[in-house]
Amino acid sequence: MKVSVNGTPTDVGEDATVATLVAARAGGHDRVAVARNGDVVPRSSWADTRLTPGDRLEVLAPTAGG
């Protein structure tokens, strides 16, 4: 199915969850946060949150900033 990940159209498997997405896109990163369709997905819900077609996902990680 097609979803949007960080602004890029992306194909993911039918059984994709937020957890599998994070593992694929942010494997080496610590302290990652995910927004799905404008809402926070808490880390405790990543494994249970299945992606649905058309989802808009933002996978974020820490960076330097003022």
Partner 1 sequence: MSVPEVVTALHHEESTDPLLLGGETFTSRLLLGTGGAPSLESLERAIRASGTQLVTVALRRVEASSSGAMLEVLDRCGVRLLPNTAGCRTAREAVLTARLAREAFGTPWVKLEVIGDEHTLLPDPIELFDAAEQLVADGFTVLAYTTDDPILGRRLADAGCAAVMPLGSPIGSGLGIRNPHNIALLRDAVSVPVVLDAGIGTASDAALAMELGCDAVLLASAVTRAREPERMALAMRHAVEAGRLARGAGRIPRRWHAEASTQMSGLPEL
Contact pick of 1, 2, 6, 23 for partner 1 (by CB under 8 A): 6
Cα angle 48, 25, 23; round to 5:
45
* Per-position x/- string for 23-42, each x denoting binding to partner 1 as judged by CB under 8 A, each - no binding: --xx-xxxxxxxx--xxx-x
Distance CA 49, CA 33 (A): 14
State the nearest-atom distance from the C-beta of 13 to partner 1, in Å.
19
Distance CA 42, CA 45 (A): 5
Binding site for partner 1 (CB under 8 A): 6-7, 25-26, 28-35, 38-40, 42-43, 58-66
